[in-house]
A and B are shown apart, each in its own frame.
Chain A
Amino acid sequence: MIPLLLNDAEIALDLPAGRRALDALRGTLRLTGTKEGCREGDCGACCVLWGVPESGAVVYRVVPACLLPCGELHGTHLVTIEGLSPAGGSHTGLVRGGPARAAGLGNGLTPVQEAFLEFGAAQCGFCTPGFVVALTGYLLSAESLDPLEAEEAVAGQLCRCTGYSSVRRALARLCEQLDGDACARTAGDPVERVRWLVAEGVLPEAFLEAPRRLAALARRAGSASLAPPAPLAARSPAAPPMPCAPAAPPAPDAPPIPCAPAAPPMPCAPPAPPAPASRGPRIVGGATDLYVQRPEEIEDASDLLLLSRRADLRGIRVEAGRCRIKGAATIEELRRCRTLRAVLPALDGWLRRVASLPVRARATLAGNLVNASPIGDLAILLLALDAEVTLEGGGAWAPAAGPPMGRPSLAGAPMESARRTMALRAFFHAYKQTARRSGEIIVEIAFDLPGADTRLSFQKVSCRPRLDIASVNGAARIAACDGHIVRAELSAGGVAPVPLYLARASAHLAGRRLSAAAVREAAEIADGEISPIDDIRGSALYKRLLCRRILYAHFLECFPEAMGGDLP
């Protein structure tokens, strides 16, 4: 049984943990306002608000229900379009299953809904609930009312009818009409924010009671099985101040953070054989990749190891010039990380080009690495940054025949832990094969922050500029001094079976004068390092061309003067 608060009703779902929330809503619960457009996270029609208890408040995120395992709903507040409509229906009829509809929907509209109505931003209406939910989610988390940010919040919603102009007008009006001061005043304070939005009529009153009801739910269900899932970012009590995380200690009923034994790092571990097909519970990060690549492995599964439930895997920490990203940290957390933003202002823009906000809110960095797609954006970025990954548990000490890992549970029982840390550059072995051993979990990804003499660049070229997988992507970390390249680290994706570190091209550049000629030489060398193939993302010819030009773009963006002044 999965107890949760659905709109304004407490219910318990008797479904496998791996079942998509979308199927639970549309099928089991007959709440059909949430639409299915693709089942792959690509259209946004299924977006819901997912509220996770966090230090006395509930923090809401917009997520695609088609990629959200029911197991994640445990002890949380799930809000659908039905639950957002004023005088929303009482869903108490759903408590003990049985087909029930969203009876008694209110007739009034929220300001978000009004804006859509006024500007004709709904035509066939199929995409509309997703837009309304996404925009409401924006209002729940916005730091200020900014039409461009509101656009960003709905940028993952596809609409085939409107051409989006009416949507733009609707959300501009919304930002104009709501009280900007109140928004600023309540920024970062989820309780006050909800109060404000309830007063504005954006949210129904049920939201006011959600923290209390979730706490009660947790008490009733027994806190042991109800560990709060990942907050936007958590910090361990021992950690030094960490501006990325909300200033909140972990919820009181969080499970104790397992103290990882200091296993010796083993950076030179020999390549492990590919992980055999699912032994033991399936490790789940954001599930964004799992549902798309291997739906049959997860949809009916009950034994999921939901990493978001492990407090020790949450958060991003920046200290002593090093950034440590925990194994369950999401890409959106990274984008929102304030300290990182201060050091790396461009990061925000780069990460906006990864998937859509609802997907980023679920997708983890670790998942991006383990998934080992040759075109993974985070893998490419982290390769240039010379990140290290720390792996834990699994079959590290247990040969293939032995028990793969400790007894799994939703709450994530401590595992037989062996830890090793390795360079990401040694992590990718072959197509979709990594150094990770069966059952091993990435617990941390770490890299050094760039120094003053270092510039970074990330380039991604895809058919559609946003919400698309790259044809070729590339990243560069270049340290330069007095017109000379001290060190250059280049990576390229989509040009090899693995996310590729361009070792030779990088080495070539070290010590050279910053010049177009040097870049040209490096591009020549890189061309010998890559082996792109014709596929749906482009022809091999195109990818070769892109790889070279992206390399050039790095330098053009990082050192425009040097490049300009040094041309042949």
Chain B
Amino acid sequence: MSSEEVRLHVRGASRFLDDQPLPAGTLHAAVVASAHAHGRLLGIDAAAASSLPGVRAILTAADVPGENQIGTLVPDEPLLAEGIIHFVGQPAALVVADTPAEARRAARAVRVTVEPLPAVLDARQAGALGALIAPPRTFALGDVDAAWPRCARIAAGRAETGGQEHLYLETQSAWAAPTEEGGVRVASATQAPTGVQRGVARVLGLAMHRVEVDVRRLGGAFGGKEDQATHWAALAALGARHLGRPVKLVLSRREDMRWTGKRHPYASDFRIGIDAEGRILAYEVTYYQNAGAAADLSMAILERTLFHATGSYFVPHVRARAYSCRTNLPPNTACRGFGAPQAAFVIEAAIRAIAEAVGRPAEEIQRLNLLREGDEFPYGMRARGARAERCWDEACVLFRVEERRRAIAAANAAADPAAPAMAAANAAADPGAPAIAGANGAGPALAAPLAATPAPRYRRGLAMMPICFGISFTNTSMNQASALVHVYSDGSVGVSTGAVEMGQGVHAKLRQVAARTLGVGVERVKVESTNTMRNANTSPTAASTGADLNGQATRLACLEIAGRLRGAAAARAGCSSDDVGFDGGRVLVSGRPIDLDWETLVREAHRARVNLSAHAHYATPGIGFDRSREKGEPFAYHVYGAAVVEATVDALLGTYTIDAVRAVHDGGRLLDPLADLGQAEGGIVQGLGWMTIEDVRHDAAGALETDTLTTYKVPDLDFAPREIEVRFLEDADHPGGLFASKAIGEPPLLYGIGGFFALREALRAARPGGVPPFTAPLTPERALLWLAGQDEAGA
């Protein structure tokens, strides 16, 4: 981790956007958002609101000087509503006032008249109505239709995953000020400074060079600030442009939760077939992605779902079809994993379904089908440097999985004498419902000696969760980055790239890359804020690629400067520049330090008019994807891993704990072990939250019900497993990687999916013979209703 950045954090000295001192004259904005999920916008009456104290302006679509549009992939998202309202929370007007409180008060007084239209909230329903964001897509491998008859056993079913609120602790925020030449300077809490720049330019009708966007750091993002920071920045810019004064817009937690998109909920149908040994022969899956009301990044997310359809496994015959369904919810958006976790959930569900159908442990089927070197993905790429089996096998040994499994089976068996107690509870609780442990009144368990201790209410479960995650933006053109490196004449180094620091430690990694490449200590290197004037046309910091792409660009820029400095040193030492090296701030010739240090060299080089700055560009080599055939090499490489997850359920009350997550993870050669560990652990807990207690709920009218931290529950310290153990594969250099490393941001989130399946195992132990549905999040409510046979499937 960057000790410099963390030093600021622990002292409360790091400034987030809302902490920046404001220039005198800054005004504050608030947004008037639609209260309807769907309807005709008949009028906006701001008369009463505009006479309220402090109000400076109330702006609507008519006040947008440029194009009233911020949709990136598809122009389907107006900045301010016009004509039709598409979701609750759609911005309809902007109020600018002297204080945030005055702006909000006035925003509440603006009357938006809407003639309601029927709203569709469910993806399957939207799909059936043909309300699609884009034409459906299909990935195929082999001949799935021909494969079914060859299968020894086939299972089919449904799997559903819910949305997920990003819950970055820093809410969406932006500040914009007019510049003297009619442009605008923007500070934005965004993962995509260029995206904001483009959006603001479009909305204000300006050339991009008139819009400067600067990002210092984010208080978390998780994908939620990739596309969706633009709206707020563009609104602030609109206000600034209109009033000629700086305008700041910071969403409250509730506004942020209500108005911004989440992880896409998916509803899926699967069919899976295995041969007699348990090899998966065929897999067919259809995804219905709930995209919300506008495209946002949904198509790209859908594509990643397709890329990850078969998870960590090789399946010779595959057909995966995906629909991006338009509903009347806020546009769903990027969220750590970007569609891959949804796909992984379905294949894992399918494997459970088939394993249960043939009465074998899921782990057997999983292990048998893990990806091997050279296996073909449904999109035509082959697994290179596959480490799925290695991670799995190491995890089994390292974490003594067999032993754990036996201990859990024994504990569950020992809990059986409690069957009568549970049966009694059950009978008391749900007359007519099946008894929990198979003993209803007079079961065999009655004969067992009655324990003198409290009836063991608890059942445990274990699940293995292998992961395989493709690294690169699936949109090939985004896999590029630039770096601007200055060596100042005193030997200090400034690095500017497009990478936004949001806690993932990318700045620390860049610092390290520059220091290592220049052979100086990290303390000489400073990573600057992310600014569109220093780095143009940057890709968002997303897809786990921030360090890879920007690090490579930084390395190239530093190499260029180092090359020039080697020349300068060679001239002075009278040797070949090939013999010159730098290490620890010293100049080496043929590996031996000479009487020349970094500072002196730099000073002299500057005097000798050597260029001490470099701009470099990096484009990931060898990738590409042909959408007309749905085949290609979209990823630079894959990240592998395997986790063992354990859970305990209270069969009486339906509450549970995730006890442990232990993973062997392929991180290549770690660039920053502490940061990488933190990413893995944080991702795991976020994934667990998505699978268990994080329940995004809307009412029938499409308004978010879980719009506060009181009603939307993310893991707290107590919920997070006490035991999270991440072991990185050793001797796992990744040739071609940045200093042999691999990306870390998203993949570990997928381990959290194991939490669902571990819990599901515990539930199965509590109600033998039952088949818990593949519906996530598996909230305590769902757990208890299922245990009591009163869930939708069981009732």
Q: What residues make up the interface of A, taking CB atoms closer than 8 Å to B?
A: 26, 30, 32-40, 42-43, 45, 80-82, 85, 99, 101-102, 105-106, 109, 112-113, 116-117, 119-120, 122-129, 132, 151, 154-168, 292, 459, 461-469, 471, 516, 519-520, 523-524, 536, 538-539, 541-542, 545-546, 548-553, 556-557, 560-561, 563-565, 567-568
CB of B109 within 8 Å of the partner chain? no
Contact of A113 with B717 in the complex, beta carbons under 8 Å: no
> Residue among A43, A464, A465, A556 with the most chain B CB within 10 A?
A464
One of B21, B429, B718 near A549 (C-beta < 8 A): B429
Complex Cα distance A560/B450, Å? 11
Contacts A120-B675, A465-B655, A545-B784: A40 and B708 contacting too (C-beta < 8 A)?
yes
Pair A42/B708 contact, Cβ less than 8 Å: yes
Q: Besides A122-B1, A165-B724, 16 other CB < 8 A contacts?
A: A37-B709, A119-B674, A122-B10, A123-B503, A124-B169, A126-B220, A128-B9, A164-B681, A165-B681, A166-B677, A168-B717, A464-B716, A538-B781, A546-B784, A548-B430, A549-B425
Q: Does B218 contact A (CB under 8 A)?
A: yes
Tell me the complex Cα distance, A35–B10, Å.
Answer: 12
Distance in angstroms between the alpha carbons of A109 and B3 in the assembled complex = 12
Q: Which 4 A-B pairs have the closest CB atoms?
A: A33-B12, A124-B503, A125-B9, A81-B12
A458–B280 CA distance with the chains assembled, in angstroms: 50
- Identify the closest chain A residue to B439 (Cβ): A567
Alpha-carbon separation in the docked complex, A45 to B709 (Å): 12
CB neighbours (8 Å) of B697 from chain A are 536
A542 touches B785 (CB 8 A): yes
Tell whether, in the assembled complex, residue A463 and residue B169 are in contact, meaning their CB atoms are under 8 Å apart. no
In chain A, what residue has the closest Cβ to B661? A163
* Residue in B12, B219, B504, B779 whose CB lies within 8 Å of A85: B12
1/0 per residue B146-189: CB within 8 Å of A?
00000000000000000000111110000000000000000000
Evaluate contact between A541 and B713: CB separation under 8 angstroms. no
* Stretch of B67-75, B235-243, B452-460, B588-596 that contacts chain A: B452-460
> In the complex, A302 Cα to B335 Cα: how many Å?
44
Query: Do A105 and B6 form a contact, CB below 8 Å, given A162-B681, A463-B713?
Result: no
- Once bound together, how far apart are the Cα atoms of A116 and B6, in whole Å? 8
Can you show 20 pairs from A to B with CB atoms below 8 A apart? Answer: A33-B13, A35-B170, A37-B169, A39-B253, A109-B7, A120-B6, A120-B674, A123-B1, A125-B8, A125-B10, A155-B718, A162-B682, A165-B681, A166-B677, A464-B693, A464-B719, A545-B784, A545-B785, A546-B653, A552-B425
B427: contacting residue among A45, A471, A520, CB under 8 A: A520
Q: How far is the CA of A568 from the CA of B503 in the complex (A)?
A: 58
If A81-B12, A549-B425, A556-B425 touch, does A160 touch B714 (CB 8 Å cutoff)? yes
Known contacts A163-B681, A519-B428: does B10 contact A468 (CB below 8 Å)?
A: no
Tell me if B476 counts as interface (CB < 8 A to partner A): no
Which residue of chain A has the shortest Cβ distance to B673 in the bound complex?
A: A120
B191-199, B308-316, B343-351, B683-691: which lies at the A interface?
Answer: B683-691
Question: Residue on A with the closest CB to B675?
Answer: A120
Q: Give the complex CA separation of A106 and B10 in angstroms.
A: 12
Q: Are A122 and B6 also in contact (CB < 8 A) when A162-B682, A163-B686, A465-B655 are? A: yes
Q: Are A548 and B503 in contact (CB under 8 A)?
A: no
Of residues B168, B253, B682, which shows the largest number of chain A Cβ atoms within 10 Å of its Cβ? B682
Residue on A nearest B790 in the bound complex, by CB: A541
For window 694-719 of B, CB contacts with A under 8 Å fall at 695, 697, 705-706, 708-711, 713-719
The smallest C-beta distance from A27 to any residue of chain B, in angstroms, reads 9
Rounded to whole angstroms, the CA-CA distance of A157 and B169 in the bound complex is 11
- B9 and A122 form a contact (CB under 8 A): yes
Interfacial chain B residues near A564, Cβ < 8 Å: 420-421, 450-455
Q: Does B739 contact A (CB under 8 A)?
A: no
Please give, as numbers and ranges, the residues of chain A lying within 8 Å of B8 by CB-CB distance: 125
Q: Is the CB of B684 within 8 A of A105?
A: no
B505 interface residue per 8 A CB criterion: yes
Contact mask B510-541 → A, CB, 8 Å, 1/0?
00000000000000000000000000000000
CB neighbours (8 Å) of B708 from chain A are: 38, 40, 42
B624 within 8 A of A: no
Task: Tell whether B788 is near chain A: CB-to-CB under 8 Å.
Answer: yes
**Which residues from chain A contact B7 at a C-beta distance below 8 Å?**
109, 113, 117
Q: Is the CB of B218 within 8 A of A124?
A: yes
Q: What is the distance, in angstroms, from A35's C-beta to the closest C-beta of chain B?
A: 7
Which one of B11, B504, B654 lies within 8 Å of A123 (CB-CB)? B504
Residues on the B chain within 8 Å of A162, using CB: 678, 681-682
CB distance from B96 to the nearest CB of A (A): 18
B710 touches A45 (CB 8 A): no
Binary flags per residue of B1-24, CB closer than 8 Å to A gives 1, else 0 = 101011111111111101101000
Question: B167 near A160 (CB under 8 angstroms)?
Answer: yes
Chain B contacts of A109 at CB under 8 A?
Answer: 7, 10-11
Closest to B685 in A: A163
Taking CB atoms and an 8 Å cut-off, the chain B residues in 553-576 that contact chain A are none
Residues of B within 8 A of A161 (CB): 220, 503, 678, 682
Any chain A CB within 8 A of the CB of B249? Answer: no
Nearest neighbor of B708 in chain A, beta-carbon distance: A40
Interface centre among B12, B167, B722 (most CB of A within 10 A): B12
Contact A557 B454 (CB under 8 A): yes
Q: How far is the CB of B660 from chain A (nearest CB, A)?
A: 11
Q: Which residues of A contact B215 (CB under 8 A)?
A: none
Which of A292, A465, A538, A567 makes the CB contact (< 8 A) with B421? A567
B781 touches A123 (CB 8 A): no
Determine whether the beta carbon of B780 is less than 8 Å from that of A463.
yes
The answer to whether B428 touches A552 (Cβ under 8 A) is: yes
The reply on B441 being an interface residue by CB < 8 A is yes
With CB as the reference atom, state the residue of chain A lying closest to B15. Answer: A32
Q: Is the CB of A160 within 8 A of B686?
A: yes
CB-defined contacts of A462 to chain B, threshold 8 Å: 780
Q: Are the C-beta atoms of A126 and B13 separated by less than 8 Å?
A: no
B398 → A minimal CB distance (Å) = 17
Whether, in the assembled complex, B217 has its beta carbon less than 8 Å from a beta carbon of chain A, the answer is yes
Residue among B21, B675, B784 making CB contact with A30, cutoff 8 Å: B21
Q: Which of B432-459 contact A (CB under 8 A)?
A: 441, 446, 450-455, 457
Chain A hits for B450, CB < 8 A: 564-565, 567
Q: What is the chain A residue whose CB lies nearest that of B697?
A: A536
Q: Measured between alpha carbons, how far is A161 from B423 in the docked complex, in Å?
A: 42
- Most chain A Cβ neighbours within 10 Å, of B1, B430, B451: B1
Q: Are B503 and A125 in contact (CB under 8 A)?
A: yes
Q: Are B678 and A549 in contact (CB under 8 A)?
A: no
A159 and B695 CA atoms in complex are apart in Å by 18
Q: Which of B10, B446, B657, B695 contacts A117 (CB 8 A)?
A: B10
A468, B710: Cα distance in complex, Å = 7
- Cross-chain contact A563 with B421 (CB below 8 angstroms): yes
Take A43-B169, A80-B12 as given contacts and tell me if A123 and B678 are in contact as well, using a CB distance cutoff of 8 Å. yes
CB of B222 within 8 A of chain A?
A: yes
Q: How far is the CA of A101 from the CA of B22 in the complex (A)?
A: 12
Contact between B713 and A464 (Cβ–Cβ < 8 Å)?
Answer: yes
B481 contacts A by Cβ under 8 Å: no
Are B11 and A160 within 8 A (Cβ)?
no
A463 touches B693 (CB 8 A): yes
In angstroms, how far is the closest chain B Cβ from the Cβ of A152? Answer: 9
Q: Are A123 and B12 within 8 A (Cβ)?
A: no
B59 part of interface (Cβ distance < 8 Å): no
Q: Which residues of A contact B454 (CB under 8 A)?
A: 556-557, 560, 564
Are B428 and A163 within 8 A (Cβ)?
no
CA distance A405 to B686 in the complex (A): 51
**Does the CB pair A553–B653 fall under 8 Å?**
yes
| CB contact between B455 and one of A125, A151, A563 (< 8 Å): that residue | A563
* B720 touching A160, Cβ below 8 Å: no
Q: Do B421 and A125 have beta carbons less than 8 Å apart?
A: no
Contact check, B10 vs A113: say whether CB atoms are below 8 A apart: yes
Q: How far is the CA of A102 from the CA of B707 in the complex (A)?
A: 33
Q: Is the CB of A556 within 8 A of B455?
A: yes
A155 CA / B780 CA spacing, docked (Å): 20
Residues of A within 8 A of B502 (CB): 124
B85 to chain A, nearest CB (A): 24
